[in-house]
Structure 1
Amino acid sequence: MSDVTIFAPSPTLTVTVEDHPQGAEIHVHAGGQGVWQARMLRRLGVTVTMCCVLTGEVGRVLRHLLEDDEGLTVVAVERDGRGSAYVHDRREGRRVAVAEEEGDALGRHVLDDLYGAVLRTGTDSRVVILSGPAGDDALPADIYRRLALDLRGDDRIVVADLSGERLAAVLEGHADVIKVSHEELIADGLAADSSVEALAQAMRELRDRGARTVIVTRAGESLLLLDDEGLVEVSLPRLEEKEHRGAGDSLTAGVVAGLARGDTAREAITLGAAAGAVNVTRHGLGTGDPDAILRLREGVAVRELDDAGSRPAGRVSPDGLAALAEPADEVPTEKEPADEEETR
């Protein structure tokens, strides 16, 4: 039994070429949204089971990387075909795609087997994360609605980090926690612009459509969280950005780590904000020193906002204060393995 089960339908094999004084240095890792979330969860001492489809030769390599390098329990449906993979060249200081493949779509029988695997493992976990596939056409969006409905329970929390049709599906399935970026809200036509007032209105709509807690990221600006008690703004000191990719997934993982140990959403968001902030300072996606995350968490502020998105002067929510006062040693740490895509 793992603390968290992640539905990660199609993980990606990543090959990245970096510059090195003696020539090229080639890094091979598992990647994709669910993998990056799982990697950060493991940094924070949370046990994880990943339910996925492993395809062909790529899938055989991914199993080794997920189990041996990432320390995950893998429950996989194996099949022949083309798996998701990419080769990127960063020797000139920027990312150049040499080859990218989303992989074959998941067929009906494979989806049935995967669905059963998620139900079997997810019912034994405190939290289940529903993450997206490598490509838009990998699987039908309705599977997210069904999973959200079937996995919700009094002792289990369903968290979704999705957008578009998949976001609409998990809302219909009444997922407990929804995390989405402000860009995705605008692109989906749910928010008129990036103002706090417009985002707050969109968040209330998402709650009306089925979510209990809604988290919105704002590209390096303070986060927003809406729950039963109202709207709050979550902010922390800015750090110099090295790689923005993966920050949202690290944030989701930090929130889930808190929820898995019994935190409220307002307590858990402080850990998520710190995890996301530390991730942007690194090449590795879903990585970060646990001690640094816990120390940075001490500087996270949770401030209440009114319905219009304005901040009442000087007010910090009780849950925010409680989260800041938590002892830093409550989250266990472990030796950090080699980072994905990090120059050594």
Structure 2
Amino acid sequence: MPRVLIFAPSPLLTVTVEGDASGTDLHVHAGGQGVWQSRMLQTLGAEVAICGVLTGESGRVVRHLLEDDDLTVHAVHREGRGGAYVHDRRSGERVEIVEIAGDPLSRHELDELYTLTIREAMTADLVLLSGPVGDEVLPDDVYRRLASDLTAAGRTVVVDLAGGRLAAALDGGVRLAKVSDAELEEADASAGTSVDGLIAAASRLRDAGARSVVVTRAGHPAILVDGDEVSTVQAPVMEAVDPTGAGDSFTAALAASLAAGDSLHEAVALAAAAGALNVTRHGLGTGDGEAIRRLSTQVEIVRAGREDGEQLSPDDLAGRLEVDER
């Protein structure tokens, strides 16, 4: 069983109000990017551990919820305000009632979390770096240091980050970076919305420190840049019930497959299937492992090459994609 360690610095306590003809109900779960990713990792058969900081009353509840889900929790405990939200979904759409990012981590708490993560990473097949709830929880440079130190220690590092945290992690060096087109456009003003702009921006992320980059594009083929090779990744387009969490499912499946020793193309196919299937469900990061594996056989990964075997340039590929999407 592949072992994956998730750096999840600030797990959330989530409360969702649900309702139908039979009445109103409350659903209480642990949440946050790393937690949602952990659910999909478990679905796909990985052994998952989480490293994070659990704060105050909400943190004590989160720990119980995580352990009830059979997750191994390595945590720094502290007092204060932990991350949490209350959402009302009785209308069919998520309506924010309250959201709390939680208190920033002190220097001592950061030191403890950093050491804890390095220690537990030594027995993991892969380390997934996920983001905090709020921008002020911890400095971006923590991601650079972690990426650099974990890579130096021989760990495989995958990141699903944006903005300054992504730039910092790339500066440390990572095996694979997953980013959405919207995040890429926000981080790189020259990317624009065109396919050629996204390919060029993804190539710059590769040059900045990622061996491979995957750009997800809701409703359109994902773009994979692996060294000098550019490919498109097309999963069956499913009827969306709730698109929230599809990106985390994509990343988690990538991590599960790479941790198991699969090839990059096998991992990307599984990831595309996990993301496609997740939009058909209401739960974040949820799915059926066998359904995902079967759907992955329908994912098409097309290398940017001509019939004579000559590699297409990024501009040539962009032109082909633009035509296909019209």
Report the TM range for the smaller structure's normalisation. over 0.9
Partner residue of 1:30?
30
The CA deviation string for residues 7-33 of structure 1, in whole angstroms up to 9 with x for no partner, is 000011110011133321110011110
The CA deviation string for residues 279-300 of structure 1, in whole angstroms up to 9 with x for no partner, is 1111100000111111110100
> How far apart are 1:189 and its partner, in Å?
2.2
- One-letter amino acid matched to 2:45: G
> How far apart are 1:233 and its partner, in Å?
0.2
Say yes or no: does 1:39 pair with 2:39.
Answer: yes
> How far apart are 1:197 and its partner, in Å?
1.0
Partner residue of 2:96?
97
Q: Is contact 2:126–2:259 with CA below 8 Å preserved after alignment?
A: yes
Greater Cα offset, 190-199 or 112-121: 190-199
Residues in 1 aligned to 2:84 and 2:17: alpha-carbon distance in whole angstroms: 14
Residues in 2 aligned to 1:273 and 1:250: alpha-carbon distance in whole angstroms: 9
Q: Is contact 1:18–1:26 with CA below 8 Å preserved after alignment?
A: yes
Q: Is contact 2:2–2:259 with CA below 8 Å preserved after alignment?
A: no
Say yes or no: does 1:48 pair with 2:48.
Answer: yes
Residues in 2 aligned to 1:220 and 1:294: alpha-carbon distance in whole angstroms: 20
Partner residue of 2:4?
4
Q: How many residues align?
A: 312
Residues in 2 aligned to 1:44 and 1:192: alpha-carbon distance in whole angstroms: 34
Partner residue of 2:109?
110
Q: Is contact 2:2–2:260 with CA below 8 Å preserved after alignment?
A: no
Per the alignment, in what secondary structure is the counterpart of residue 45 of structure 1?
coil
Partner residue of 1:62?
62
Q: Is contact 1:14–1:87 with CA below 8 Å preserved after alignment?
A: yes
> How far apart are 1:192 and its partner, in Å?
2.8
Report % sequence identity.
54
Partner residue of 2:307?
none
Partner residue of 2:323?
none
Residues in 1 aligned to 2:189 and 2:294: alpha-carbon distance in whole angstroms: 35
Residues in 1 aligned to 2:35 and 2:196: alpha-carbon distance in whole angstroms: 33
Q: Is contact 1:145–1:173 with CA below 8 Å preserved after alignment?
A: yes
- One-letter amino acid matched to 2:241: K
TM-score by length of 1: 0.88
Q: What does residue range 144-155 of structure 1 map to in structure 2 within 5 Å?
A: 144-153=143-152, 155=154
Seen in structure 2, the aligned counterparts of structure 1 residues 79 and 246 have a Cα distance that, compared at 3 Å, is same
Partner residue of 1:324?
none
> How far apart are 1:46 and its partner, in Å?
0.2
TM-score by length of 2: 0.92
Q: What does residue range 1-344 of structure 1 map to in structure 2 within 5 Å?
A: 3-68=3-68, 70-153=69-152, 155-305=154-304, 306-311=312-317
Residues in 1 aligned to 2:229 and 2:87: alpha-carbon distance in whole angstroms: 43
Residues in 1 aligned to 2:271 and 2:153: alpha-carbon distance in whole angstroms: 23
Unmatched 5+ residue regions in structure 2? 305-311, 321-326
